[in-house]
Structure 1
Amino acid sequence: MGTERGARRGARRRRGTRARALVAAVLAAGLAAGCTVSDGPRDDGRGSPRQSPAQSRETGPKGPPVLAVKIDNAPAARPQTGLDAADVVYVEQVEGGLSRLMAVYATRLPESVGPVRSARESDLELLRQFDRPVLAFSGAQGKLLPLIDRAPLEAVTPESAPGAFVRGTDRPAPYNLYLRPERLMDGPPGEAALTTGFRFGPPPADGRPEDEVTVRHPAARFTFTWSGDRDRWLVSTDGAPALTAGGERLAPATVVVQYVTVRRSEFRDFLGNNTPYTETVGSGEATVLRGGRVYEARWDRPAAQDGTAFTTEEGGRMNFARGQVWVVYVQTA
């Protein structure tokens, strides 16, 4: 059995080496073209990196990184492609009170993901929980590019990796840019790369039954409707069913409504609208949806290098259901 485990570890290291080599080749091409990529310091001014109390990063040889993709959620961008394959979908508020998505892939890579859109300052703090993640995005405003360059992540854009992106013909730009993950990474990094702090297991004993929960941003809303047949929460966006490219409902196993501070940043879009900054380091309240029930919870992320731990109101462990997790960031009242 020890020999089998050693063989599996060796295979994982070889896969990780190939994935890192592919990403390095893409980034080298980006540097040659003068594009913005990152190779900056790991310290963010909060002190030395800390291990997450919920899920620590492994020491020794590094495995391949997770893939994070910024995805548009404007009406013209729907239905999106590849969202159903994500392990985690983060919902962020952007300019004008609208929403944008960040999909994180570790256990499988879809054939295509998109429409891919631009990065925001909040993404850099959110992604610090992972070890040098690959962030695929369409671009960013000029003043943000130096921050992306210094962040401990691998930035991939159509300029730095033109072979990994394609333009669809069924929609106008900017809603037709798609990433082909298999052209960027050798394969999925595996569940161990998901250093989110999430824990999976049986639900707490309490919780109230609930069939439907609606979450609102200033100019967007999400409704999660429980389906006992699918044992999942069916997603609706702005009153319409949220679908996959194949016409199926998006249906996470767990939904987290995380109440955070959303403040003004120093950046604006081309129309002059201020870009909100979502603070994901700190602590606060959350509502967890799983199994047709709603649980009041607390969240805690002491530093950017940590994952986010969730506990019950009594301080017990808050487990999630196995399957896709959606995290919707909402302004604290």
Structure 2
Amino acid sequence: MRHAGGMKLRLLVAVTAAALTLTACSSSSDGKKEPTTPDASKGTAEKLVEISPLTGRPMPHGRPSNPVFVVKIENTEGGAPQYGLNKADLVMEELVEGGLTRLAAFYYSNLPSKIGHVRSLRDTDIGIASPVGGQVVASGGAAGTYRRVERAGVKVFSEDGGAPGFSSDPLKVRPYNRLINLKTVAKKAKATRILGPYLPWTPRKSTVKTPAATGTTPAPPRHKTTRAATVRFSNSTSTRWKLAGGTWQRTNGHAAAGQDFKANTMIVMFCRVGDAGYTDPAGNPVPETKFEGSGRALVFHGSTVTEVEWHKPSLDEAITFQTKAGQAYTIDPGKVFFELVPKGDGKVTLG
């Protein structure tokens, strides 16, 4: 991790070209490629390399023509096994009714033909998907939730709404048997504009320094070390993690063998939780994680755990981080797993 200023979505990589003109491509807001020809008259040219908004890593072949898809995935034993998580670029775990949780998995660089098991939409998904123009894939959702998501301008591919690509898992029963083929969905989807990165990524060769006030030395961020952690959402749900092979992995997850998400960075964000205003079929009040504002966060990267503050001024804005001293805090490029833990009821135990 490094402390740095803002990070542009694109990274310019200099390439020597004495007599060769290189042609690069950039993406327009409608997802089409727009050719750009660098000026090579001075003996050099620059090849424009796109940076993934979801991982901060270079995309040498440019941005995909598909939008970012956010697939809602069941996260209980009833929906096991989970398929396709290993192909996701970024994953979030959010609280739902009954103290249980659900996953929101982001797919951009890969479009698996089998993801599941797909579940329903939640109000929290507005703040989750909006910063990168994400299009949500869900099995269904409450009528009020649909209206709110539509008013927010978030596109939804719902089985209830007749979206293509859904199928049944013959080994499961409803509502835990819905699968989705994102390649099929992508044929009907239009790319949406991505205004910037989902996270403030650390530049690979950062030369940006945060100036300190005269006569002062900023305090370093608070950090600890650990190789295991338990993230508690409620009395009934906790996610256990371990550091293995340089990545953070769930030890009580529900993924199919070899298909779990391996996170280069795991981030716990303590968020306010309100009432979504309706109940599930069993009569449980449905919670809504308020994915905007600010709060405490813990960043797990390698064996280091760093305490910072998260900031997200509105539902459609990206997340930024600051140290207690007010310095900008960036995230090293790679795959990230977010735990959106209820402020007050949530808890993180190290070791």
Question: Considering the TM-score relative to the shorter chain, is it more than 0.5?
Answer: yes
State the TM-score, normalizing by the size of structure 2: 0.72
- 2:88 counterpart residue number: 86
Which residue of 1 is the match for residue 231 of structure 2? 215
- CA deviation vs aligned residue, 1:204-263 (integer Å, no higher than 9, x gap): 886322111111011210111111xx2101212xxx3x2542345532111110011012
Q: Quick one: percent identity of the two aligned structures?
A: 26
How many angstroms does 1:190 deviate by?
11
* SS of aligned partner of 2:124: helix
Does the 8 Å CA contact 1:67/1:106 hold for their aligned counterparts?
yes
CA root-mean-square deviation: 3.2
Which protein is richer in strand relative to its size?
A: 2
Structure 1 consecutive aligned stretches of length 4 or more whose deviation exceeds 6 Å: 187-194, 202-206
Counterpart Cα distance in 1 of 2:275 and 2:165:
33
The corresponding residue for 2:8 is none
What is the match of residue 280 of structure 2?
Answer: 269
Asked if the contact 2:199/2:331 (under 8 Å) is kept, the reply is no
Distance 2:190 2:263 in 1: 20
**Counterpart for residue 312 of structure 1:** 323
CA distance in 2, matches of 1:111, 1:190: 21
1:222 maps to a residue whose letter is T
Q: Aligned pair in 2 of structure 1 residues 164, 206: CA closer, same or farther (>3 Å)?
A: same
Secondary structure at the counterpart of residue 147 of structure 1: helix
Structure 2 letter corresponding to 1:130:
V
Distance 1:166 1:211, change over 3 A: same
Query: Unaligned stretches of 5+ in structure 1?
Result: 19-54, 56-61
- 1:25 paired residue number: none
Q: 1:123 to 1:168 in 2, by over 3 A?
A: same
> 2:166, 2:178 within 8 Å by CA — same for their partners in 1?
yes
> Would the alpha carbon gap of residues 291 and 188 (structure 1) be closer, same or farther in structure 2, given more than 3 Å must change?
farther
Determine if the alignment matches structure 1 residue 226 to structure 2 residue 239: no
Offset, 1:134: 1.4
For each residue in 1:122-175, what CA deviation from the matched residue of structure 2 results, as whole angstroms up to 9, or x when unmatched?
1123322122x2111000122323223323121111244453111111222221
Return the index of the structure with the highest Cα Rg.
2
Q: Determine if contact 1:252/1:326 at 8 Å carries over to the other structure.
A: yes
Query: What is the correspondence of 1:3-152 to structure 2 with a 5 Å cutoff?
Result: 4-6=22-24, 8-9=25-26, 12=27, 16-17=31-32, 64-131=66-133, 133-152=134-153
Question: Which residue of the partner structure matches residue 168 of structure 1?
Answer: 169
Q: Cα gap change, 1:304/1:143 in structure 2, threshold over 3 Å: closer, same or farther?
A: closer
Q: What SS does the corresponding residue of 2:126 show, helix, strand or coil? A: helix
